[in-house]
Amino acid sequence: MLDTFIDITLLAFLTITAIAIIKVRDLFVVIMLFSIFSLHSAGLFVVMDAADVAFTEAAVGAGISTVLMLATLALTKDHDEKRPAHKARLPLLVVLITGAALVYGTYDIPSFGDPDAPAQAHVKPYYIEQSMRETGVPNTVTAVLASYRGYDTLGEVTVIFTAGIGVMLLIGGRLTRKRDKEDDR
Amino acid sequence: MKHNLVLRFITKYLFPVIALFALYVQFHGDYGPGGGFQAGVILSVAFILYAMVFGMESMEKVLPLGLLRTLASTGVLIYAATGVTTLLMGGNFLDYDILSQLPIQGQHIGIMIIELGVGITVSAVMLIIFYAFTDRRNYD
């Protein structure tokens, strides 16, 4: 009962924030609203018992990405979004049809936490039954990510590392040049 | 924000709490929610808060960009080296059972080390991206 109430409240706040993001034209306000949106999502993840995801969403979505967008905004001169010149009718139609199709599709999805869902039937029973005995780690998520799927996680860390290198090459280039100049002096 | 006394005061006390929480998430990830990625992100958030309040100059004194670059690559290296170590010890790649006499102990050691690698890389990369975005301002 309380879960349903919290779900409805959080989802209502999400919708309100989303509509506000569309309506507001001041980009500074939009960025702060995005941050609030992420925080509500983090709350939803906690309700769904996905504390790991909630951590990430709160720290990355509400924290780091907001700061990065604010830093980007500080670099630009115009802080107001321009009104689009064209009418929104055709895009709205496309969005409505796609949305309706997606909602229709959810009727085939197994309900939340359904033990007979395909996602739960494959390797999950094995992890739940055996991970404690095989790895001695009570947190099954950690056991799967770090041990059973350690190879995947290595790939993920490499992706993050590559992303850092990419950002450094694309927009961090002047940093190194600044250092060189200072050395010359 | 350099002259805001309240913000500076609170940040001074908040920074160690956030950093300590990051370490908790890092090393308690085996037992509770969290792990290397979450811990790394939380730690970098603490540093970003510090940089926002005290300015990039004092931030660069604490963590120069060169150090961050080294840390970012060190994390990936720690992770991959763990895999290579298990290979050299006669097991499969990233098969931690071989790291100790007891397979479960080996798993504990292996997971601890690779999560540390993940945490180091993630926090360093997040801060590198933050540096790249903020330091451009000095030029335009």
Range of the domain at B18: 5-138
Q: Flag whether residue A59 sits within 8 Å of chain B, measured between CB atoms.
A: yes
pLDDT in the model for residue A111: 83
pLDDT confidence bin for B95, thresholds 50/70/90:
confident
Joined tokens for residue B40: 């790394």
pLDDT in tens, chain A (185 residues): 888 899 999 999 999 999 999 889 889 999 999 999 999 999 999 988 888 899 899 999 999 999 999 988 888 877 777 777 778 889 899 999 999 999 999 988 888 778 888 878 888 888 888 888 888 888 888 888 888 888 999 999 999 999 999 998 888 755 554 555 555 44
Q: What are the chain A neighbours of B25 within 8 Å (beta carbons)?
A: 55
Convert B43-65 to b/e letters by CB count within 10 Å (16 or more is b). bbbbbbbbbbbbeeeebeeebeb
pLDDT surpasses 90 at B21 = yes
| A100, burial (CB in 10 Å: exposed 0-12, middle 13-18, buried 19+) | exposed
Give DSSP secondary structure letters for chain A: -HHHHHHHHHHHHHHHHHHHHHH--BHHHHHHHHHHHHHHHHHHHHHTT-HHHHHHIIIIIIIIHHHHHHHHHHH-S--BPPPPSS-SHHHHHHHHHHHHHHHHHHTTSPPTT-TTSHHHHSSHHHHHHHHHHHH--S-HHHIIIIIITHHHHHHHHHHHHHHHHHHHHHHSHHHHHHHHHHHH-
Q: What are the chain B neighbours of A147 within 8 Å (beta carbons)?
A: 96, 107, 110-111
List the single residue in B107, B117, B132 with the smallest CB-CB distance to A167. Answer: B132
CA distance A179 to chain B (A): 11
List the single residue in A51, A68, A157 with the smallest CB-CB distance to B118. Answer: A157
pLDDT confidence bin for B11, thresholds 50/70/90:
very high
pLDDT tens, residue by residue, A28-61? 999 999 999 999 999 999 988 888 899 899 999 9
Amino acid identity of B126?
M
pLDDT in the model for residue A173: 58
Closest residue by Cα to residue A83 from A23, A28, A17: A23
d(CA B109, CA A56): 24
Contact: A150, B114; criterion CB under 8 Å: yes
Q: Flag whether residue A151 sits within 8 Å of chain B, measured between CB atoms.
A: yes
pLDDT in the model for residue A119: 79
Instruction: Tell me the ipTM for this assembly.
Output: 0.89
Q: Read off the pLDDT of each residue in B63-69 and give the average, rounded to a whole number.
A: 90
Contact: B72, A64; criterion CB under 8 Å: no
Q: What are the chain A neighbours of B72 within 8 Å (beta carbons)?
A: 161, 164
Q: What are phi and psi of A34, to 5 degrees?
A: -60, -40
pLDDT in the model for residue A89: 87
* Number of domains chain B is built from: 1
pLDDT in the model for residue A185: 43
pLDDT in the model for residue B56: 84
**Beta-carbon contacts of residue B138 (< 8 Å; ≥ 6 apart):** A178
pLDDT surpasses 90 at B33 = no
User: Is the four-CA dihedral A67, A72, A78, A83 of positive or negative sign?
Assistant: negative
Is residue B23 a contact partner of residue A135, using CB atoms and an 8 Å limit?
A: no
Residue A106: HSE in the Cβ half-sphere, 13 Å Cα cutoff: 7
Q: Flag whether residue A172 sits within 8 Å of chain B, measured between CB atoms.
A: yes
CA distance A3 to chain B (A): 20
Q: Which of A57, A75, A142 to mutate to test the interface with B (most CBs of B within 10 A)?
A: A142
Domain boundaries, chain A: 1-83
Q: Flag whether residue A159 sits within 8 Å of chain B, measured between CB atoms.
A: no
Contact: A168, B29; criterion CB under 8 Å: no
pLDDT in the model for residue A177: 47
CA distance A122 to chain B (A): 22
Q: Determine how many CB atoms are found less than 10 A away from the CB of residue A59.
A: 28
pLDDT in the model for residue A78: 74
CA distance A148 to chain B (A): 9
Q: What are the chain B neighbours of A163 within 8 Å (beta carbons)?
A: 125, 129
pLDDT in the model for residue B137: 54
pLDDT confidence bin for B136, thresholds 50/70/90:
low
pLDDT in the model for residue A57: 92
| A25, burial (CB in 10 Å: exposed 0-12, middle 13-18, buried 19+) | exposed
pLDDT surpasses 60 at B1 = no
Contact: B111, A153; criterion CB under 8 Å: no
Chain A: residue nearest B80 by CA?
A154
Q: Read off the pLDDT of each residue in B17-46 and give the average, rounded to a whole number.
A: 90
Q: Which of B28, B37, B112, B123 to mutate to test the interface with A (most CBs of A within 10 A)?
A: B37
